[in-house]
Every structure is written in structure tokens, then in C-alpha cells.
């Protein structure tokens, strides 16, 4: 296998410090900067390239790194890993990256690289994560972390036994809309929260007369596709971090469009679900309803919208926007199907101001993870959190297959 590492006059050690030039005795010494090497596997894919490489790691690098509480800084050095050396070289040249490799084993064996970051397709993730854990690398991975619950639990136990630090992407929590929602919850705005409703999705073209905007493997169960495996891990961490742990799930899955056309224009049988309609019971009696669909035409302000209703008020939030309607400003609708209702209900909602610069959510989580790693502090969104996402997705599929509510089983990861 090809491995490309540039020659160095000084090796990048696991704890190497890059010190600044000496300063005069009258000036305070500049705090040192620590460079952290990161193996980035899967950056040729859309998410790995745009969100994790360009908008996160390279943005951190180009900003001079992250300032630590003691005034020192950490910065990052990415190693791009993949199967296609030409594609890796193009990305590296475009962004001024020195290090690429097609040999994952060699990269994992090299002490210059402290963190392994995984953005592969789900089917390839478990094997790569096992290798990284065996090499004692810190893990940062996309989700779902595995295709099955058994695989996910085994990974989490292996990392725990090896004392490997882990992090799982929880990007939706960092969206401006959900951060505004977090503020409302923390302020007690809702009173007792009763319910959560979420509409997510859009129309993904079948690929015959117009090219699909999602890859064809998303609609092949044998390739790890399906809207449940794609979105339910997201819903798991959103629900549990904002409202409470999920205790049970009922889901009806559907493959509404059974035939699609792939990237070569060839027709294929869609074996994975393209829509899932779920009801979730949370701690405290909160009921959540979430529709996830790649076969819905958008009639809402954003591609995802959450409505939260509580005894003292309600809110509707999306990726960015947030509107509220407190109890004291709630109108009094009266149902009368014989008379046209001319009331302007949208005008009854108050738009929340931003009051902050939120920035890219993927970058923000990377900064938090890297800071936690450098300080040696506990990181909450670890592989155990990733396991809970896989558990919810697997329970949802079982619920759809058996036509009943599934109570989530204990994981035994304590």
C-alpha cells in the first residue's frame, strides 16, 4: 500500500511542543503551542470533506489553533487517509496539507498521529475503529458507530478496557436553532414540557430525469443505507440531551419509492426505507413525534423543524430560526368547519433574536473535543452515547417489523 509522509528534519513527537522564538527579558514569554496530529479517514466524502476537514480542522489550523485556559495554544496537523491516492493528493494540494496516505495500518502505527477521526461509510467503520483502538489512538467518529447494537457495544467495551478516549459527532446540538432552544429550556420558559414534534426531510430525486442529491447507497440496506440508521442516532442524542433519555419507541418505516437510479444512471431496487414515522416516550412523560423522510416536499421554514409545547409556552425552532409563543400571548382558536378561519396564526409567534455568533457546529464540537483531549478532562459524547444511538435505530427497525412499541433494553456498559 502506498504511504506518503514528507521528510522531516525534526519528528513530530506525541507530546512535542513548538516553542516561539526567544524574547527579551523585558517581555513575558509566549506560551507554547502544542501540535496534535489527526488521522482523517474518509475526507473524500461529502461530509468528511466539507464539514470535518474544510470547515473544522482547516479552519482551526488557519485561525492559529485554539487558546487554552492557561494561555497556551493547541493546533492541528491532519493526515488524510483513503484508498484513492490521486484524490487525496488533489485535496492536499488544494488546501496546503503535507500528509496523505493510503496505508491506514502504517498511519496508526506512527506516534506522530494522536487522534483517529473516522468519516467512512457505516459499513466500513467498525473494522477501522477496532484497529484504531488496538493502536491506542484517541477516537473521534461520525455516527452511527456500527450497523448493529452488538457491534456498537463491543466497540465501547473494547475502548473502555483499553482506556481509549473517544468522541462521537453530535453536530445537531450545536445548530443555532437548537442552541436557542437550549436557552429556553435552561431558563424554565416552557414550564413542564409536554411534547416534542419534529418534521425532517425533503424530496430526494429518484435519479431518472434529475440526478439524486444523495448517494445511491443510502437506499440499499445491504450497503448500510436507510433513513433510520442515518437519522435516529441524531434524534437519540438530541432528545436525551435536551429533554431526557428515550425509554421506548414505536416506528413505522416505509420504502415509498421502490426503484431509483444510481450515479451511472442505472436503475436499482431500493431495499432500505426512505421514510420513518416515530413516536418516542421520554423520561418525565414527554412524548416526542418525529417524521423523517426523503419523500416529502418541504412546506416549512427550514428542512428540519421542532415544535416544543409546554404548560407555560411553546417554541418552534429549525436549523437557525426560533419562534416562541408564551402562555400569556396564546390566541383562543375556536373550531368551526363551516366558516373560513381568517386568523393569521403565524403572526402570533415572536421571533427570537440571535444575540450571539454561533459559528459552524461541527467546528465548535471539534474545538470542545480537542480542548477536552488536551486537558485530559472527561468528554460526555463518547462511544457509549454512540451505542445509545445504534440501540434506538435497531429498536425502531424491530418496532416497524413487529408492529409494536419497543422498550429500550439496558446496555450493560457501566
Mean pLDDT within 396-413:
95
Mean pLDDT within 254-279:
97
**Model confidence pLDDT, tens digit, residues 333-374:** 999 999 999 999 999 999 999 888 888 999 999 999 999 999
Band of the pLDDT at 142, cuts 50, 70, 90? very high
Mean pLDDT within 395-403:
98
Q: Is residue 214 over pLDDT 80?
A: yes
pLDDT (0 to 100) of residue 293: 98
Q: Is residue 21 over pLDDT 90?
A: no
Band of the pLDDT at 314, cuts 50, 70, 90? very high
Q: Is residue 382 over pLDDT 50?
A: yes
pLDDT (0 to 100) of residue 357: 84
Mean pLDDT within 178-194:
97
**Model confidence pLDDT, tens digit, residues 44-94:** 988 999 999 999 999 999 999 999 998 999 999 999 999 999 999 999 999
Q: Is residue 24 over pLDDT 60?
A: no
pTM of the model: 0.89
Round the average pLDDT of the chain to a whole number and report it. Answer: 92
pLDDT (0 to 100) of residue 20: 41
Domains, the chain, ordered by start: 3-171 (3.40.50.720), 174-356+383-402 (3.30.360.10)
Q: Is residue 265 over pLDDT 90?
A: yes
- φ, ψ for residue 250, nearest 5 deg: -125, 130
Q: Is residue 289 over pLDDT 60?
A: yes
Amino acid at each position: 500500500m502506498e504511504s506518503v509522509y514528507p521528510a522531516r528534519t525534526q519528528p513530530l513527537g506525541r507530546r512535542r511542543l513548538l516553542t516561539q522564538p526567544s524574547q527579551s527579558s523585558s517581555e513575558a514569554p509566549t506560551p507554547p503551542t502544542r501540535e496534535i496530529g489527526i488521522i482523517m479517514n474518509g475526507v473524500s466524502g461529502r461530509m468528511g470533506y466539507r464539514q470535518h476537514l474544510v470547515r473544522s480542522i482547516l479552519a482551526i489550523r488557519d485561525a492559529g489553533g485554539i487558546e487554552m485556559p492557561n494561555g497556551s495554544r493547541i493546533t492541528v496537523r491532519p493526515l488524510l487517509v483513503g484508498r484513492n491516492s490521486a484524490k487525496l493528493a488533489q485535496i492536499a494540494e488544494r488546501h496546503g496539507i503535507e500528509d496523505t496516505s493510503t496505508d491506514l495500518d502504517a498511519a496508526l502505527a506512527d506516534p506522530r498521529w494522536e487522534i483517529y477521526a473516522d468519516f467512512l461509510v457505516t459499513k466500513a467503520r467498525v473494522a477501522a475503529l477496532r484497529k484504531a483502538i488496538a493502536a491506542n489512538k484517541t477516537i473521534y467518529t461520525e455516527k452511527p458507530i456500527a450497523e448493529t447494537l452488538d457491534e456498537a457495544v463491543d466497540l465501547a467495551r473494547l475502548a473502555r478496557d483499553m482506556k481509549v478516549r473517544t468522541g462521537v459527532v453530535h453536530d445537531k446540538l450545536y445548530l443555532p436553532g437548537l442552541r436557542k432552544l437550549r436557552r429556553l429550556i435552561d431558563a424554565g420558559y416552557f414550564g413542564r414540557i409536554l411534547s416534542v414534534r419534529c418534521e425532517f426531510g425533503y424530496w430526494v430525486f429518484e435519479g431518472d430525469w434529475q440526478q439524486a442529491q444523495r448517494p445511491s447507497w443510502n437506499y440499499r440496506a445491504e450497503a448500510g443505507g436507510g433513513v433510520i440508521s442515518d437519522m435516529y442516532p441524531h434524534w437519540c442524542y438530541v432528545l436525551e440531551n435536551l429533554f431526557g433519555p428515550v425509554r421506548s419507541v414505536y416506528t413505522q418505516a416505509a420504502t415509498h419509492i421502490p426503484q431509483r437510479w444510481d450515479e451511472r444512471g442505472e436503475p436499482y431496487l431500493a431495499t432500505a426505507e426512505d421514510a420513518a414515522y416515530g413516536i418516542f416516550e421520554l423520561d418525565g412523560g414527554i412524548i416526542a413525534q418525529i417524521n423523517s423522510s426523503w419523500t416529502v416536499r418541504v412546506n416549512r421554514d427550514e428542512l428540519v423543524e421542532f415544535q416544543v409545547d409546554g404548560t407555560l409556552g411553546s417554541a418552534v425552532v429549525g436549523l437557525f430560526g426560533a419562534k416562541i409563543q408564551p402562555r400569556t400571548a396564546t390566541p383562543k382558536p375556536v373550531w368551526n368547519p363551516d366558516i373560513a378561519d381568517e386568523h393569521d396564526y403565524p403572526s402570533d409567534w415572536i421571533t427570537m433574536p440571535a444575540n450571539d455568533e454561533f459559528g459552524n457546529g461541527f467546528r465548535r464540537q471539534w474545538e470542545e473535543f480537542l480542548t477536552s483531549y488536551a486537558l485530559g478532562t472527561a468528554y460526555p459524547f463518547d462511544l457509549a452515547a454512540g451505542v445509545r444511538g445504534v440501540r434506538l435505530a435497531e429498536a425502531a427497525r424491530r418496532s416497524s417489523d413487529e408492529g409494536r412499541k419497543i422498550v429500550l433494553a439496558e446496555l450493560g456498559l457501566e
